[in-house]
Structure 1
Amino acid sequence: MHISLHGLVRGQDIELGRDADTGGQIQYVVELTRALAKLDRVARVDLLTRRIEDPRVADDYRREEEPLDEAGRARIVRIPFGPRRYLRKERLWLYLDCFVDLALQYIRRVGRVPDVIHAHYADAGRAGARLAALLGVPLIFTGHSLGREKRRLLLGRGQDEALIESRYQLSRRIEAEEHALDMASLVVASTRQEVDSQYALYDNHEHRRVAVIPPGVDISRFHPAVKNERVGNCVHGIERFLRHPRRPWILALARADERKNLATLVKAYGAHPDLRERANLVLVAGVREHVAELEKGASRVWRELLELIDDYDLYGHIAYPKQHSADDVPCIYRGATASGGLFVNPAWTEPFGLTLIEAAASGLPVIATDDGGPQEILRHCRNGMLIDPHDADGLGQALSDALADRRRWRLWSQRGSHGVRQHYTWLGHAEHYLRELGRISRRRQRSKASKSRLPTVDRMLICDIDNTLIGDRGALAKLVKVIEAAGHSLAFGIATGRRLDSAVRILKEWGAPVPDLLITAVGSEVHYGANPQADHEWSQHIDFRWDREAIFETLRELPGLRLQPASEQRRHKVSYYADPTRMPGVPAIRRALRRRGVHVNVIYSHQAYIDILPIRASKGLAVRFVADRWGLSMDHVLVAGDSGNDEEMLIGHSLGVVVGNHSPELEHLKGRKRVYFARDAHAAGVLEGIEHYRFLGKILQPRYD
């Protein structure tokens, strides 16, 4: 499962350069998805992105699914999170948790947990890390561009740090990148420079978890012109700008983004009279109708470019078409090659540079920034030269020299197309990618890591631990065999007053099954999996009106209550020992708290303990939250308990089992249709309840009279 959330994602005619969010990352994830689906070892590849319903963009982006291959093994899946309209990436962060919830629903509909999740860019990194934790699957992360590097470059250009933070919210982005790197089993980078100079800036960077896999290019689309090939209407749309259209093209193809440094290229060309007489400049910088209608960054770039064109009086020497399609791009490269021209990438920084290998595959020599990806591409292909993007004079001279030596131009052209076929095909990329996944799989097998069953099960058994699950080793061993025999149709969980570490330890001591779900601290915490991962949405959900200090102040003077040790206090739980002969009673405790404006749940259990929880927290509420999160109906959830803190999860539409050794606090539940009082104690009582409800077959649903 690939996740790429921002920009405009579709399989055909990708609108590269339409805005700052629809760039090379979109091309990369679509092509990688297609390439992986062609390999026999891959059964299915889903690319999850955002569903958009907006009259300003094409209807393609509102389709729920879009196939990417004829075999049906690759598809784009659009998840409708956040507002329906198109949003720039900085405004998507508020809705990433919604994406996670809806992605879980989609996985449940598929009926299969993905074997790996690959998140692209910081926003998907945050969401992908959450999904991977919930599902117990490995995470792959590709940053594409990184927040720490962007901050470094902006500060280096003299921009104010507070203004940078206000505009780009880089602190949030960097924290998301750190978290994704912390969770990632593998980081896929395009170049070694990206690893050494950019990922190395992060606290969670580890070289051993990074694989350098250069992106590929579709050589069926990008190739030198064959003999007598006509390069198409796209070239005529460029030639109409030019007084001498047969002169070599100096081609730049990039988004209208300040980082692409197109203004320096115009200055280099305009200030070099010999270059103006020898060649034409062609700027393919996205699509536009009116400059004023572009987003602010692109509008600033175009206004500067148009002023420079006017200042240098470049009319007739420069082409800057307003429109082009993805299908036009290969023919634009071939047109530049046929003219005997050059491709130029003068970006301030370039993590990879997909356009460089597209140009090289088309036989077009390149002049590129001496940074990141271009350094490695030219080392492999030997088809051009590197320049300092800050030096306009040096760039102009490099272009003039490259055009003057026709013998070297032909050598660069041949080397470029050969080098791409040797180093930069999508098939080679996908094969390398799968080898890295194989290493992850082998490590997981050695560590006995397993995926969550929660997205695929159709029923769930949840037991309290003390005096319910444990207490009779022989009965527990029989229950373990029953759970194991049920296989992937049944999820097993625990709901306990114990804290997480105590619950995990006691389950291990008694040989209980490893839970798929752990509800601990009387329902105030929810975790999943063998290496428990917290459900942060539950924590956020129950934080509503929670005021710990007011609880301590209110109950400090009440008789019969004594705080339990600090080890038993949790972020969302305050626990007391209770003396029933002296304490004022649960209703009186509730009234005292309400009079102070404290909104909580008060849970009395075993006639010895009082737990104060947020108003939204309890075992019962946690069970229902989990069932809803994973798409399970409550009548397919069997809960078993023995004391007062189990009451809320025993009542309602779930199937309740009260074990034979229960506390008197539950006696008043007798007679309820969906609460079964077992004769047997401990795990034997749970087994009796499973049999009563026929829970592992066609479930018996009690009917009300």
Structure 2
Amino acid sequence: MRDLRILMLSLHGLMRGRDLELGRDADTGGQTLYVVELAKALGRHARVEQVDVITRLVDDPAVSPDYAAAVEPLGERARLLRLPCGPRRYLRKESLWNHLDQLVDRILGHLRQQPRLPDVIHSHYADAGYVGVQLSQLLGIPLVHTGHSLGRCKRQRLLDHGRKAAAIERQFNFARRIAAEEEVLAHAALVVTSTAQESSEQYGLYENHQPARTVVIAPGTDTSRFAPPGRAPIPPHVPALVDRFFTQPKKPLILAICRPEVRKNLRRLIAAFGTSPALRERANLAIVAGMRDDIRGLEAAQADVLTDLLLDIDQHDLWGSVALPKQHQPDDIPALYRLAAQRRGVFVNAALTEPFGLTLIEAAASGLPVVATHDGGPRDILAHCDNGVLVDPLDPADIARGLLALVSDGQAWQRHARRGLAGVVRHYTWDAHVDKYLAAVDRVVHRTRKHVRRERAAQRRVAVSMPYVERMLVSDIDNTLIGDRGGLAALVRALRVRPRSCGFAVATGRHLASAVQVLQQARVPLPDVLITAVGSEIHYGPELRPDSGWRRHIQHLWRRDALAALFDDVPGLTLQSADQQSAFKLSFHVDREAAPSLSELKARLRGAKLRANLIFSHDAYLDVLPLRASKGQAIRYLAYKWNLPLRAFLVAGDSGNDLEMLVGDTLAVVVSNHSAELDALRGVEQVYFAGAPCASGILEGMAHYGFAWQPDDALRQEAA
């Protein structure tokens, strides 16, 4: 039965379903290929209903128009969806961070249009993990994550190579990336790694690594695309890509395919070849390191690597023995493997670190033995396939030894080529990968579904998911929702049988724990959304998941310590107890006789060049909030995030700290027991003054606006 919907997130690089521009830049490499191939393979599986891969839409004349298409089919029940995020031009991954919150909102808008929510979210790399955590928390959907590479490991490698910490932070934004990775590891229900070494040694560097939530699933390879010579052709133009560099093109071909990055260790590969007379005599070397028109037009880091390679080739006088082609097509890569196999050559991956090594599997499937770094994934691959030799990537002599051992021993070459072909079929096909993947994901989804059923039974209420909400009741707690026992009982009965299109929220000055406690004491069902601390906090029930995007949104211009110092000596203001303070709220008792007016306090703010939102209520309290925080702004944020018109919100309140949410395009109800601060709203359009107090007044307002709920029979039975 097809019952599984999977949402994948892979945000950076240039992604499309065919002719992937692998190696075009540092962001378009193995990850993009893995995600596309995994989505295609999952779409073919009998259990999978739909796989959607979300990436960033790029509308840039510098790249193919393919990347501006909103939807691209990837095959049976799989598609690539591109959503706009930030500027239209292509951005490198380190420049995406400031635009990711916008992408969260765009994805939520997209999900509202789907027939049902995905069963699992699978994020790839730290940037997608950042988005995936928010979506998972907001929607209650389990998160699966694949890191592909990790910030702590890369930062340490660069420091070991002598790079300055400040310089690499400016270039790679490691602080933000590592913080996102820690958050992902704390939250993810499952982390997929390619090797045991990646799981234990690389993820082991993180404080939030949880081995019990980690599963090792080696990637697959497309054996219909990668095949040995004889089973698939070698187009005539492919030998010409490299042979024009060689004086003796028929020698065994040592082939390296990778992006021009320092960690790929290409300079030591050149040194290994250049300092071994026996290797130079016996073989040629071809390095396919991305594509370029002019080295001077590349990013600085790539240009530096290629410039150093050319200088090293010249130093060792390797002209006529080393090929460094500028251009190739995606379909040329399988043929290059076959060409090297046909000439009894070797594939080499001498990277300083290698989390997996997909090219080693591609080479094995092409009948080409390998020489690989003894770090990371190659150890697992060669243990399974026995298709080559492991070497020390820091020792050019050891690299040369491994290469020479294969190109000079025909029997060893044949043995490794034969075992590599068999090993790929046993361990590294996409069908085998998908079977293991779905078994692990099924366990996660099953646990989540059981938890949701238990939670629903415990709450004795209809579970409302925000993507399905079409309208929402939002009420203050004290003296609005609570205070009239009979009216509250009637309102609670209505809440328990509402359809999933109708949401329920509270907006209160209380902090989260206090709000939950008072609602439980009053036997009010836990709301779908809790706006607490006068709008400085947003959480989603029943698991009280925080809205991280709101927290980041209200940080703008917020200087809490400076504000606390500014108001410390103001007469008539006394800090409330510690439990009423928070990271985004300063709360004071107000002596109206001694305290300055609100306008005077605002002038004091301006004089200190500080920005804050001052909320005065009940003639007795002052809340100092971030400029963007209030109950009203929180509701408008929800309207934007969940793609709801403001008229879809019916809001109810009784005091001055409700004022902002009662005005504007919302449908407002002021209960009869309101404070005098709200009298100024009489006569304002869409503000209804009820004749009844508290919850009875809310019900009166709902009737006034025609905001009645008509539950269907199934929901009535569930609530009974």
Same fold (TM over 0.5): yes
Cα distance in 2, alignment partners of residues 184 and 476 from structure 1: 39
The answer to whether structure 1 residue 30 and structure 2 residue 36 are counterparts is: yes
Counterpart secondary structure, 1:488: coil
The answer as to whether partners of 2:122 and 2:146 remain within 8 angstroms in 1 is yes
Partner of 1:45: 51
In the alignment, residue 228 of structure 2 is paired with which amino acid?
P
In the alignment, residue 39 of structure 1 is paired with which amino acid?
H
Change in Cα spacing, 1:539 to 1:157, as seen in structure 2 (3 Å) is: closer
Partner of 2:459: none
| Structure 2, unpaired ranges of 5+ | 1-6, 457-462, 711-720
Cα distance in 2, alignment partners of residues 552 and 307 from structure 1: 60
In the alignment, residue 507 of structure 1 is paired with which amino acid?
L
Q: Please give the TM-score of this superposition, normalised by the length of structure 2.
A: 0.90
User: 1:89: how far off?
Assistant: 2.0
The answer to whether structure 1 residue 60 and structure 2 residue 72 are counterparts is: no
The answer as to whether partners of 1:528 and 1:534 remain within 8 angstroms in 2 is yes
User: 1:546: how far off?
Assistant: 4.7
User: 1:16: how far off?
Assistant: 1.0
Partner of 1:82: 86
Cα distance in 2, alignment partners of residues 191 and 153 from structure 1: 19
Change in Cα spacing, 1:452 to 1:85, as seen in structure 2 (3 Å) is: farther
Alignment of 1:615-630 (within 5 A): 615-630=627-642
Cα distance in 2, alignment partners of residues 546 and 196 from structure 1: 40
Aligned length: 695
Partner of 2:302: 298
Among 561, 564, 571, which residue is 1:558 paired with? Answer: 571
Change in Cα spacing, 1:154 to 1:552, as seen in structure 2 (3 Å) is: closer
Cα distance in 2, alignment partners of residues 212 and 316 from structure 1: 43
User: Which is further off, 468-477 or 627-636?
Assistant: 468-477
Partner of 1:677: 689
Counterpart secondary structure, 1:43: strand
In the alignment, residue 237 of structure 1 is paired with which amino acid?
L
CA shift digits 1:47-71 (9 cap, x unpaired): 22222222222111222222211x4
In the alignment, residue 26 of structure 1 is paired with which amino acid?
T
Change in Cα spacing, 1:452 to 1:421, as seen in structure 2 (3 Å) is: farther
Partner of 1:2: 8
The answer as to whether partners of 2:56 and 2:83 remain within 8 angstroms in 1 is yes
Alignment of 1:357-368 (within 5 A): 357-368=361-372
Counterpart secondary structure, 2:48: coil
Q: CA RMSD in A?
A: 2.7
Partner of 2:444: 440
The answer to whether structure 1 residue 199 and structure 2 residue 212 are counterparts is: no
User: 1:553: how far off?
Assistant: 4.7
The answer to whether structure 1 residue 380 and structure 2 residue 384 are counterparts is: yes
User: 1:9: how far off?
Assistant: 1.4
User: 1:352: how far off?
Assistant: 0.3
Partner of 1:701: none
CA shift digits 1:303-354 (9 cap, x unpaired): 2222333333333333332211111111111122222221111111111000
User: 1:649: how far off?
Assistant: 1.4
Cα distance in 1, alignment partners of residues 608 and 409 from structure 2: 85
The answer to whether structure 1 residue 330 and structure 2 residue 342 are counterparts is: no
The answer as to whether partners of 1:483 and 1:490 remain within 8 angstroms in 2 is no
Counterpart secondary structure, 1:622: helix
In the alignment, residue 455 of structure 1 is paired with which amino acid?
P
User: 1:302: how far off?
Assistant: 1.8
Cα distance in 1, alignment partners of residues 300 and 603 from structure 2: 56
Change in Cα spacing, 1:303 to 1:621, as seen in structure 2 (3 Å) is: closer
User: 1:602: how far off?
Assistant: 4.0
Change in Cα spacing, 1:136 to 1:161, as seen in structure 2 (3 Å) is: same
User: 1:598: how far off?
Assistant: 5.9
Cα distance in 2, alignment partners of residues 305 and 547 from structure 1: 50
Cα distance in 1, alignment partners of residues 691 and 232 from structure 2: 90
Cα distance in 2, alignment partners of residues 155 and 582 from structure 1: 59
In the alignment, residue 539 of structure 2 is paired with which amino acid?
H
CA shift digits 1:639-667 (9 cap, x unpaired): 11223322321222211122344334434
Cα distance in 2, alignment partners of residues 427 and 477 from structure 1: 56
Partner of 1:610: 622
Counterpart secondary structure, 1:44: strand
User: Which is further off, 43-52 or 6-15?
Assistant: 43-52
Cα distance in 1, alignment partners of residues 603 and 398 from structure 2: 79
The answer to whether structure 1 residue 14 and structure 2 residue 27 are counterparts is: no
User: 1:11: how far off?
Assistant: 1.3
CA shift digits 1:238-257 (9 cap, x unpaired): 33333333332111111121
Partner of 1:406: 410
Q: Please give the TM-score of this superposition, normalised by the length of structure 1.
A: 0.92
Counterpart secondary structure, 1:198: helix
The answer as to whether partners of 2:234 and 2:338 remain within 8 angstroms in 1 is no
User: 1:474: how far off?
Assistant: 5.1
Cα distance in 2, alignment partners of residues 162 and 574 from structure 1: 35
Cα distance in 2, alignment partners of residues 610 and 521 from structure 1: 12
Partner of 1:530: 542
Counterpart secondary structure, 2:467: coil
Change in Cα spacing, 1:658 to 1:304, as seen in structure 2 (3 Å) is: same
The answer to whether structure 1 residue 631 and structure 2 residue 637 are counterparts is: no
Among 492, 496, 508, which residue is 2:520 paired with? Answer: 508
In the alignment, residue 407 of structure 2 is paired with which amino acid?
L
The answer as to whether partners of 2:464 and 2:503 remain within 8 angstroms in 1 is no
Percent identity of equivalent pairs: 50
Cα distance in 2, alignment partners of residues 550 and 408 from structure 1: 74
In the alignment, residue 401 of structure 1 is paired with which amino acid?
A
Cα distance in 2, alignment partners of residues 462 and 586 from structure 1: 27
Partner of 2:460: none
User: 1:599: how far off?
Assistant: 5.1
Partner of 1:424: 428
In the alignment, residue 703 of structure 2 is paired with which amino acid?
E
User: Which is further off, 393-402 or 339-348?
Assistant: 393-402
Among 659, 666, 669, which residue is 1:657 paired with? Answer: 669
User: 1:395: how far off?
Assistant: 2.0
Partner of 1:187: 191
Counterpart secondary structure, 2:449: helix
Change in Cα spacing, 1:154 to 1:528, as seen in structure 2 (3 Å) is: same
The answer as to whether partners of 2:134 and 2:549 remain within 8 angstroms in 1 is no
The answer as to whether partners of 1:362 and 1:417 remain within 8 angstroms in 2 is yes
CA shift digits 1:459-503 (9 cap, x unpaired): 111111122222345543443343343332112111011111100
User: 1:266: how far off?
Assistant: 2.3
Cα distance in 2, alignment partners of residues 575 and 529 from structure 1: 26
Cα distance in 2, alignment partners of residues 218 and 601 from structure 1: 58
In the alignment, residue 273 of structure 2 is paired with which amino acid?
Y
Cα distance in 1, alignment partners of residues 158 and 607 from structure 2: 54
Counterpart secondary structure, 1:68: strand
CA shift digits 1:110-143 (9 cap, x unpaired): 4644332222222222232233223332222222
Change in Cα spacing, 1:654 to 1:503, as seen in structure 2 (3 Å) is: same
Partner of 1:702: none
User: Which is further off, 509-518 or 471-480?
Assistant: 471-480
Alignment of 1:437-516 (within 5 A): 437-448=441-452, 453-473=465-485, 475-516=487-528
User: Which is further off, 165-174 or 445-454?
Assistant: 445-454
Partner of 2:129: 125
Cα distance in 1, alignment partners of residues 693 and 432 from structure 2: 61
Among 205, 212, 218, which residue is 1:214 paired with? Answer: 218
Cα distance in 2, alignment partners of residues 197 and 595 from structure 1: 54
Cα distance in 1, alignment partners of residues 310 and 557 from structure 2: 56
The answer as to whether partners of 1:136 and 1:452 remain within 8 angstroms in 2 is no
Cα distance in 2, alignment partners of residues 498 and 5 from structure 1: 38
The answer as to whether partners of 2:227 and 2:367 remain within 8 angstroms in 1 is yes
| Structure 1, unpaired ranges of 5+ | 699-705
